[in-house]
């Protein structure tokens, strides 16, 4: 393996656990709806709104790339159906977004990002809607590529290569770190990057690495990742 000049990260379930964040954000949003758009809260539940988003995503592939647009479209449909003012969809989305970005990084993440500063270029590639500025960690990243802005999602090789191009490195000079064996590991390797599977077993203890997916490394913590990277990083 050549020396590594850039490290790219997945966000949700790699830098922080996402399920409890989404559950809380949807609860916060529904409580807001009950006060400001009671017709929606009376006609729908958190579960029925979620089911509608799933159906809409299956019917329209573009929503798999832009989850915020999906939520906006589903809320707009619910507001219209219940006779509520659709202008309130905008503040509703703001309420959800603020709660969705109230994440708590795993305890090993920020120390590792600090250690990587000045040693290697750092970026992110995500299919989610996390806002690194709102979260307060954008200063650790020199590039952040999100599927809803780029126009395609992981595992499309183009999104990984775009991040490498933004950082000024060739794909073989970069490592991608993520929790999903197919979207993250296989996707990055198909784009010419090296890939580390971040297998935090406390999140998904039953997750199994498919036989055909062979990461360059498997780590259970960012401390392990930092040790693995230290032997391969070229100072930039």
Higher-pLDDT residue of 232, 147: 147
Among residues 203, 146, 156, which one has the least CA distance to residue 179?
Answer: 203
Task: Report the topology of domain 6-17+104-230.
Answer: Rossmann fold (3.40.50)
The pLDDT tens digits for 49-95 are 999 999 999 999 889 899 999 999 999 999 999 999 999 999 999 99
Specify the pLDDT at position 236: 44
112 pLDDT more than 50: yes
DSSP state of 83: T
Q: Is 114 exposed, middle or buried (0-12, 13-18, 19+ CB in 10 A)?
A: exposed
Strands (E), the chain: 6-9, 121-126, 143-146, 174-178, 194-198, 217-219
C-beta of residue 14 within 8 angstroms of C-beta of residue 179: yes
202 pLDDT more than 80: no
Q: Could you tell me the pLDDT band of residue 204, with boundaries at 50, 70 and 90?
A: low
27, two tokens: 């609860």
- Percent of the chain whose pLDDT exceeds 90: 90
C-beta of residue 32 within 8 angstroms of C-beta of residue 148: no
For the CA atoms of 113, 204, 27, 60, what is the dihedral angle to 10 degrees?
A: 90
C-beta of residue 107 within 8 angstroms of C-beta of residue 71: no
Mean pLDDT of the chain: 94
pTM reported for the whole predicted model: 0.92
103 pLDDT more than 90: yes
Cβ neighbours of residue 134 closer than 8 Å, sequence gap 6 or more:
97, 98, 101
The pLDDT tens digits for 23-57 are 999 999 999 999 999 999 999 999 999 999 999 99
Task: Report the topology of domain 19-100.
Answer: 1.20.120
C-beta of residue 120 within 8 angstroms of C-beta of residue 5: yes
Give domain limits for the chain: 6-17+104-230, 19-100
DSSP state of 202: T
Q: How far apart are CA 64 and CA 70, in angstroms?
A: 8
Specify the pLDDT at position 3: 83
């Amino acid at each position: 393996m050549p020396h590594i000049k850039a490290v790219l990260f997945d966000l949700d379930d790699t830098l922080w656990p996402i399920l409890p964040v989404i559950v809380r954000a949807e609860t916060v949003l529904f409580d807001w709806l009950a006060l400001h758009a009671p017709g929606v809260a009376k006609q729908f539940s958190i579960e029925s709104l979620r089911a509608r988003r799933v159906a809409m995503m299956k019917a329209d592939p573009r929503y798999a790339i832009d989850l915020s647009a999906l939520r906006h479209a589903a809320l707009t449909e619910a507001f219209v159906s219940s006779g509520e003012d659709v202008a309130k969809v905008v503040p509703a989305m703001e309420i959800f977004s603020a709660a969705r970005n109230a994440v708590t990084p795993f305890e090993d993440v920020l120390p590792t990002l600090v250690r990587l500063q000045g040693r290697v270029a750092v970026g992110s590639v995500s299919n989610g809607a996390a806002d690194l500025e709102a979260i307060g960690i954008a200063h650790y990243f020199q590039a952040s590529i999100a599927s809803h802005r780029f126009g395609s999602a992981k595992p499309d090789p183009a999104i990984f290569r775009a991040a490498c191009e933004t950082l000024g490195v060739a794909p073989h000079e970069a490592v991608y770190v993520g929790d999903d064996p197919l979207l993250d590991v296989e996707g990055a390797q198909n784009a010419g990057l090296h890939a580390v599977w971040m297998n935090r077993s406390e999140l998904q203890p039953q997750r199994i690495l498919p036989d055909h997916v062979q990461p360059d490394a498997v780590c259970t913590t960012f401390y392990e990742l930092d040790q693995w990277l230290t032997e391969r990083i070229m100072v930039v």
